[in-house]
Amino acid sequence: MDVRIDPHHLHGAVTPPPSKSMAHRAVLALMLSDGEGVIFNLDSSQDIQATKRCVEALKAPRSAGDVPRLDCGESGSTLRFVIPIALALRGGGVFTGRGRLMERPQQPYFDIFDEKGIFYEQKDGILTVQGTLTPGLYRLPGNVSSQFVTGLLYALPLLPDDSLIQITTPLESSGYVDMTLDMLKAFGVTVEHDNYEIFRIPGNQVYHARNITIESDWSQAGFWYAAKALGSSVDIWGLDPHSTQGDRVAAEHYERLTCSGDVDIDVSGCPDLLPPLAVMAAIRSGTTRFVNAARLRMKESDRLATVHALLTALGGRAEEGPDSLTVRGVPAFAGGTVDGANDHRVVMAAAIAATRAAAPVTILGAEAVKKSYPSFWEDYKRLGGVFHVL
């Protein structure tokens, strides 16, 4: 689906969708629990559907020696969370995905599998993992993705003895690990850590079922903050200012980017915020440098390249570096055509940029929002956005 947006400021109140990061964790914790519970305010995004599919596959009856087939869609969280859980529950799995998912790095797990004698094979976009997850010491780098830490934190409490996770490089995105630890605690699982360097996980633990409500998503709120920064009158409702979501820094960065002057922003802890932050930076007085951003090259798109392309296609000024993006402010976007690159966050960022454009903005592949925010275009229209499906 391609859309053409007529430039128009947005007005009104919006509640961001449920937190995708929290929903993944809740669905998996409930699956591992000893009883029944209810997850309230669970969204229907494609990523959450992927995690629910994997849960059903893991729970399905099996024949002796069989491992489940696990379709992770385009969800990196699903894939990385479920790999160690599948080893703990079912002795492994056959993992498939779409888009760029199976190209995204899994080396931290592969290094562990080599050390622990766990079989793995990645061939023709299919990852097969088979073996026994055993208690003990697990070493992980902290600068690739916190999703590997979360996967092990979910699986290791199920083992019959205690385990340790040692983080060998400084942990980025520690807020996401905080969210994991909070979810585990809510379901009765205990983990201790020393300054995010050593995690101590007692074995033989039991997840206890409970009801839980998913809070609104700070990552998606970032796009509505960008709309405000570009001149729209948008009230954002339903956010918890004390949330463990790392992307709650969206509010802080919004305040910084509504002031003039040069700014440096380290996005190592909030990589999903780069697209809306870059749109905010494009229409301000001053230069903004987004640094420590190399991990963005392995998202749904090479997000440093595609965000740079978005800004320049609309008349913005930006320079892409190996692990950075420098944005120099202009008075307004000119309009033009943006390739959504099958990336939900690039599409939403382009839609917000269109609210401050001098001419219409065409977005190719606008349906990509279904990955994380299926109701985005409904909310955009309800706030006064004017667009036409081509």
Cα separation, 144 vs 296, whole angstroms: 11
**Given the residues 272, 339, 343, 379, the one annotated as active site:** 272
Location of structure tokens 């309800």: 382
| Alpha helices by DSSP H, the chain | 20-31, 46-59, 76-90, 107-116, 146-155, 174-186, 218-229, 249-257, 274-282, 303-313, 344-353, 376-382
Q: What is the pLDDT of residue 28?
A: 98
Amino acid at 47: D
47 is an active site residue: no
Written as tens digits, the pLDDT of the chain (390 aa) is: 999 999 999 999 999 999 999 999 999 999 999 989 999 999 889 999 999 999 999 998 877 668 999 999 999 999 999 999 999 999 999 999 999 999 988 999 999 999 999 999 999 999 999 999 999 999 999 988 899 999 999 999 999 999 999 999 999 888 899 999 999 999 999 999 999 999 999 999 999 999 999 999 999 999 999 999 999 999 999 999 999 898 999 999 999 999 999 999 999 989 999 999 999 999 999 999 999 999 899 899 999 999 999 999 999 999 999 999 999 999 999 999 999 999 999 999 999 999 999 999 999 999 999 999 999 999 999 999 999 999
Pick the CATH number of 3-17+217-389 from 3.40.50.150, 3.20.20.70, 3.40.190.10, 3.65.10.10: 3.65.10.10
Q: Is the pTM of this model over 0.85?
A: yes
Cα separation, 341 vs 296, whole angstroms: 14
DSSP state of 329: -
Number of Cβ within 10 Å of residue 134's Cβ equals 15
Number of Cβ within 10 Å of residue 234's Cβ equals 24
**DSSP three-state, residue 158:** helix
Q: In CATH, what class is 20-213?
A: alpha beta
Location of structure tokens 């729209």: 232
| Alpha helices by DSSP H, 91-129 | 107-116
Cα separation, 277 vs 296, whole angstroms: 14
Cα separation, 19 vs 355, whole angstroms: 25
Cα separation, 79 vs 226, whole angstroms: 30
Cα separation, 24 vs 146, whole angstroms: 14
**Residues 6+ positions from 241 with CB-CB distance below 8 Å:** 248, 251
Q: What is the pLDDT of residue 64?
A: 65
Give φ, ψ of 131 to 5 degrees: 155, -170
Q: What is the pLDDT of residue 280?
A: 98
Amino acid at 321: G
Beta-strand pair 263-266/287-291? parallel
Are the folds of 3-17+217-389 and 20-213 the same?
A: yes
Q: What is the pLDDT of residue 173?
A: 83
Contact status, residue 34 vs residue 209, Cβ threshold 8 Å:
yes
**pLDDT tens-digit series, residues 294-327:** 989 989 999 999 999 999 999 999 999 999 999 9
Q: What percent of the chain has pLDDT over 70?
A: 99
Partners of residue 347 on adjacent β-strands: none
Partners of residue 11 on adjacent β-strands: 233
The domain ranges of the chain are 3-17+217-389, 20-213
Cα separation, 101 vs 301, whole angstroms: 10
